[in-house]
Amino acid sequence: MTDFEPRIIGFLCRWCSYPGADLAGTSRIVYPPSLRTILVPCSGRVDPLFVLKAFQDGADGVMVLGCHPGDCHYLEGNYHAQRRYALMHRLLEYVGIEGERLLIEWVSAAEGGRFAEMVREFTAQVSELGPWGGRRVDR
Amino acid sequence: MIDKIQAKAKELLERGQVSCFIGYEEGTRRKVRPAFIYEPQDVDRLIWDERCTYNLAVYLHQFKSPLKRGEEPPRVGILVKPCDSRSLNVLFHEEQIERKRVYIVGLTCEGVKVNGQLQERCQRCSERVPLVYDLLVGEEPNEVGQENYADVARLEGMSPGERLAFWVREFERCIRCYACRQACPACYCFECVAEQLDPLWMGIAIDLPQKQFFHVMRAYHLAGRCSGCNACEEACPTGIPLSLLNRKIAKEVEALFGYRTGQDAETPPPLATFKKEEELPL
């Protein structure tokens, strides 16, 4: 699939990852337009339901980005997120949604370049898997 | 065994220590059903045999609040098997019911049967004595099973596409009756996400995406809280193998966080806590 552009939902935390994405923008770093960002107060705010809902409504991949461990504005939100998504990842894989479609990573406000790089890599990874939304199973 | 249970239930009810005793009684068509005993003279109805598969902990939710405002909530007596006792620990930890309001009659269990067949979960069960009880009835059997997760491993061995096809086949039969949720002692939200209309998380259509969403959501909400009593799967009218989902999570929770559901009433479930130093691989 060459002309497939995945739809990726990104949950970006308000204190680190969103400013990080902002920095990528103000620094004129180019990254794929496949990412739709959603601003959340903290990566701990991202209920696993959000991720499920995104997949249900046809997202091809979901990124959850937060502050580095220890840097959370609310002290512990990202630790909770880490536990949740370690489990969620395994569960999604088990019910047949490839684990590569879910990414949880830490991006600080100073890492605009790294953010762009991450989106590029994740887009490539999801493109390789092909579309998830609306996929029909032979039965 | 049953004499001891009946005697204890009678004593509790006569002394007014409990207002209701929850146990099992003979139902219709050689089936067992839950019994709610309010009067001491009714204790003869209680039975205990290998058909008593239901997890009675789910009925404790009916005794959480007082009958009249301002009164104390009622005290209850309950029969528990080892697997059910884990559910009780979950409820105690989540402060759903106070420990002192429940008189627990623990049963040593050699496994329960459905249609004369020892259940699979009982064949692998390594526990024969409840984790929490006030009175233990019966003697500890010396033969125990071994947990092996062979069924989960079989599914894990498939490719993602095969797994998806497998689950689509299973979930397709779901009629969204929510029997699995109602039968579960750990599912007690006032308003379930599945029925919430604002925000509409799940959608009201009975279509595959909604069913997939519901089952993954249900399993995930029970992460570290499912005691493996299998009430959901037994309640399912279309025979969806829900234990495969629940047991996968139980397996991962044990591997990642070293936690088993309801091991005591103090340890918080793994998703409600964290360790700063831990590195969790995706």
How sure is the predictor about B278, in pLDDT bands with cuts at 50, 70 and 90?
A: confident
Would the pLDDT of B187 be above 50? yes
Closest chain A residue to B201, measured at CA: A53
Q: Which of residues 49-88 of A touch B (CB under 8 A)?
A: 49, 52-53, 56, 69-70, 76, 79-80, 82-88
User: For residue B85, what pLDDT is reported?
Assistant: 92
Number of other CB atoms surrounding residue B277 within 10 Å:
6
Structure tokens at B165: 């096809």
Length of chain B in terms of residues written = 282
Q: What is the DSSP string of B214-281?
A: HHHHHHHHTTTT-----HHHHH-TT---HHHHHHHHHHHHHHHH---TTS-SSSPPGGG---TT----
Q: Which of B165, B217, B271 sits opposite A83 (nearest CB)?
A: B271
User: Residue B190 contacts by C-beta under 8 Å, 6 or more apart in sequence?
Assistant: none
Query: Contact A87/B223, CB-based, under 8 Å?
Result: yes
User: For residue B72, what pLDDT is reported?
Assistant: 84
User: For residue A134, what pLDDT is reported?
Assistant: 52
Closest chain B residue to A138, measured at CA: B165
Give the whole-angstrom CA distance, residue A55 versus residue A30.
Answer: 26
Would the pLDDT of A135 be above 60? no
What tens digit of pLDDT does each residue of A49-82 get?
A: 999 989 888 889 999 999 999 899 999 999 999 9
The DSSP bridge pattern shows strands B32-37 and B20-26 to be: antiparallel
Rounded to the nearest 10°, the torsion over CA A121, A125, A128, A133 is -120
User: For residue A33, what pLDDT is reported?
Assistant: 92
Query: B209 to chain A: which residues are within 8 Å by CB?
Result: 56
Q: What is the DSSP string of B68-129?
A: STTSPPPPEEEEE-HHHHHHHHHHHHTTSS-GGGEEEEEE--S--EETTEE-HHHHS----S
Q: Which of B193, B252, B274 sits opposite A79 (nearest CB)?
A: B274
Would the pLDDT of B5 be above 70? yes
Do B133 and B105 contact (CB within 8 A), yes or no?
Answer: yes
Query: Contact B167/A53, CB-based, under 8 Å?
Result: no
User: For residue B237, what pLDDT is reported?
Assistant: 95
A134 touches chain B (CB under 8 A): no
Secondary structure element (H or E) that encloses residue B4, with its range: helix B2-15
What chain A holds in terms of domains, given with CATH numbers, is: 8-129 (3.40.50)
Domain boundaries, chain B: 2-137, 150-269
Would the pLDDT of A136 be above 60? no
Mutation choice for B interface testing from A62, A83, A125 by most B CBs within 10 A:
A83
Min CA distance, A44 vs chain B (Å)? 11
User: For residue A2, what pLDDT is reported?
Assistant: 60
By the 10 Å C-beta count (0-12 exposed, 13-18 middle, 19+ buried), B159 is classed as exposed
Do B228 and A100 contact (CB within 8 A), yes or no?
Answer: no
Closest chain B residue to A88, measured at CA: B220
Closest chain A residue to B242, measured at CA: A95
Query: Contact B271/A95, CB-based, under 8 Å?
Result: no
How sure is the predictor about B203, in pLDDT bands with cuts at 50, 70 and 90?
A: confident
Closest chain A residue to B165, measured at CA: A137
3-state secondary structure A80-138: HHHHHHHHHHHHHHHCCCCHHHEEEEECCCCCHHHHHHHHHHHHHHHHHHCCCCCCCCC
Percent of chain A with pLDDT over 90: 75
Give the whole-angstrom CA distance, residue A41 versus residue B51.
Answer: 51
Helices A77-94 and B242-257: crossing angle, nearest 10°? 140
Q: Taking phi first (over 0 means left), then psi (-120 to 50 degrees means alpha), and beta for anything else, what does residue B102 get?
A: beta
Query: Contact A48/B156, CB-based, under 8 Å?
Result: no
Q: Which of A48, A79, A89 sits opposite B282 (nearest CB)?
A: A89
User: Residue B30 contacts by C-beta under 8 Å, 6 or more apart in sequence?
Assistant: none
B253 touches chain A (CB under 8 A): yes
Across residues B126-135, what is the average pLDDT? 88
